[in-house]
Amino acid sequence: MVRLGQVMYLHKDAYEEYQKRHAALWPEMKLALREYGASNYSIFLNKKTGQTFAYLEVPSVETYNRIADTDICKKWWKYMEPLMDTNPDNSPVTTDLKEVFHLD
């Protein structure tokens, strides 16, 4: 299992809406995440900076990354675009983090 960590960047007036939308995550998006290998997925918010920290585990990074090509993922990105910093394709601007320590 590969552990992934990323930072994303919310607009400061969007914290509540971001949390609301994730609390009502579309069933099709949940299914896609699972189909592409995501498990143990959590997102944390730093309210002072607007940064989120996403943590998830996947069996294969290559398989998981293919979720970006799905219609449901692209629809989710478009839905979330007004709330966060995004790229031209509506995907979130992310900073991938390198794991430097893990304790089982």
Cβ pair 8, 86 in contact under 8 A: no
Alpha carbons 38 and 1: distance in angstroms, whole number? 10
11 catalytic per annotation: no
Catalytic residue among 11, 20, 22, 66: 22
Alpha carbons 37 and 84: distance in angstroms, whole number? 24
Cβ pair 44, 53 in contact under 8 A: yes
Cβ pair 51, 8 in contact under 8 A: yes
- Tracing tokens 């398989």 back to the chain, one arrives at 63
Which positions are annotated as active-site residues?
A: 22
